[in-house]
Structure 1
Amino acid sequence: MNLPEIVSRDEWLTARKELLEEEKEVTLRRDALNERRRELPMVKVDKDYVFEGPDGKTRLLDLFEGRRQLIVYHFMFAPDDTEGHNSCSLLVDNISHEEHLHALNTTVALVSRAPLSRLTPFKERMGWTIPWYSSFGSDFNYDYHVTNDESVMPVEYNYKDKATLLEKGTPWYIDGEWQGLSVFLRDGDDVYHTYSTYERGLDALVNTYSYLDLTPLGRQAHVTQFSLHDAYAS
């Protein structure tokens, strides 16, 4: 990659102010987009999903831990896997003190299809404190389109069906485990699905990207080239 042009301080300041105007436009556009996201209609969740957590069987309502909002990160961890996916692990590494979310009536939790007996050792290895639940044996992953298996349910990922995924040249999405995020709102004992996002819709949750995007060299690597945080050479 080529390095930036070397210029005088005055030339740099002119270029920086031009970029600042673009940054302001993006900020205002993002504010408007966030408002539209909050105004999305919601769908009542009628299915009684059962998960496996550290205290045994639990339901979607219990994942809220008494709070009004629930953010579920669909972590790629298949039933036969022994460790988590690199990109999912990178995202979870970027979730710091959950107390900030808790103070605003919001719980964040991880959900994967692998049995809890496989999730727990990896969670301890990574040093994470975020609640992690197994959806093994339930329809949860299929209903929220982060596990694709044509024998169970028609293929869909990021709001695209199988034919569209193949046409776009992304055949890998038609089978297996994929990452995503879903948001739920609780009103008493009623739970509503308000939002889901996939692929690059998750970028904003990875602070590592945000820091690197400020630098001349940028992200430098495709997401699959990131390693588990305990696997980098010292």
Structure 2
Amino acid sequence: MTHHPTGTREDWLKARLDLLAAEKELTRRGDELARRRQAMPWVRVEKDYRFETEDGAASLPDLFRGCSQLIVYHFMFGPDWSAGCPSCSAIADGFNGIAVHLANHDVMLWAVSLAPLAKLQAYRKRLGWSFPWASSAGGDFNFDFNVAFTEEQQSGGTIEYNFRRGGHAMDLDPAPEPIAEVAAYCGTDAPAYNRDRPGMSVFALQDGVVHHTYSAYARGLDSLWGGYQWLDRTPKGRNETGIWWRRRDEYGND
């Protein structure tokens, strides 16, 4: 049984007003961070990246589909996996509703993964998604944007993720039990799972030239995970003791 302080309505209102001041401060700080993201220097993308989509082969400029801005969610789904990462899947459950709004506000949203297109399409159909999803199989895109790594990088300890080398749970050998559990859940082993990592990257198209404007990884993706935003407002919070989430069609199967 959870023991928590109780009080009167007046106690609650005083605490809530104190918290409101802190929340407003956080909102203003968030606005400031958004301005700093928008002020980041743009880096011209020189390489000709190629993707496979449901409409055929595509270049990075093709993914903009008439918009001037592009968000790519780097969805963890390795070439030999039997299913996508459940954490990425939980985040992607929020894409369907928002993608149409973004597309009508000059922003295209895509998921991109290393798995073959047919595997991505089957998984997307299984989970009832409609957002665009491209395969980058055989190319450098995931590697260049620091969400995929080679066995040599892994064995040599030279993986650089989230703008630093080492220091991540996914770098540990042996892998922590939760990571081994999720790897098995995807039909792979922990080392292979850890060579594919989550992230998001943003691009701008101006005068026919693509520029990389922003990327985020690891906890930098928390705000994209809608479920966490709801949990953070409940009395028990995230209340995590392990991997509690499942793919949306797997609840009740335990």
Which TM bucket (shorter chain)? over 0.9
- Partners of 1:72 and 1:132 lie apart in 2 by 9
1:64-143 superposed matches below 5 A: 64-95=64-95, 96-143=97-144
Asked if 1:227 is matched to 2:246, the reply is yes
- Partners of 2:210 and 2:49 lie apart in 1 by 11
Residue number in structure 1 paired with 2:178:
none
Larger displacement relative to structure 2 (210-219 or 105-114): 210-219
1:17 Cα deviation (Å)? 0.8
Asked if 1:61 is matched to 2:61, the reply is yes
Report the CA distance shift for 1:223/1:134 in structure 2 as closer, same or farther (over 3 A): farther
- Partners of 1:223 and 1:198 lie apart in 2 by 20
| 1:164-200 per-position Cα deviation (integer Å, ceiling 9, x unaligned) | x15x665249951000000000013100000000001
Aligned partners of 1:94 and 1:208 also within 8 Å = no
Matched residue type, 2:36:
R
1:199-218 superposed matches below 5 A: 199-218=218-237
Asked if 1:158 is matched to 2:162, the reply is yes
- Partners of 1:39 and 1:5 lie apart in 2 by 44
Matched residue type, 1:124:
K
Percent identity reads 42
Aligned partners of 1:86 and 1:224 also within 8 Å = no
Report the CA distance shift for 1:233/1:170 in structure 2 as closer, same or farther (over 3 A): closer
Compute the RMSD of aligned alpha carbons.
Answer: 2.0
Q: List gaps (5 residues or longer) in structure 1.
A: none
1:132 Cα deviation (Å)? 0.5
Residue number in structure 2 paired with 1:30:
30
1:57 Cα deviation (Å)? 1.2
- Partners of 1:121 and 1:39 lie apart in 2 by 39
- Partners of 2:137 and 2:16 lie apart in 1 by 51
Question: What TM-score does the superposition give when structure 2 sets the normalisation length?
Answer: 0.85
Aligned partners of 1:87 and 1:224 also within 8 Å = no
Larger displacement relative to structure 2 (202-211 or 92-101): 92-101
- Partners of 1:169 and 1:130 lie apart in 2 by 30
Residue 220 of structure 1 aligns to a residue whose secondary structure is coil
Report the CA distance shift for 1:3/1:189 in structure 2 as closer, same or farther (over 3 A): farther
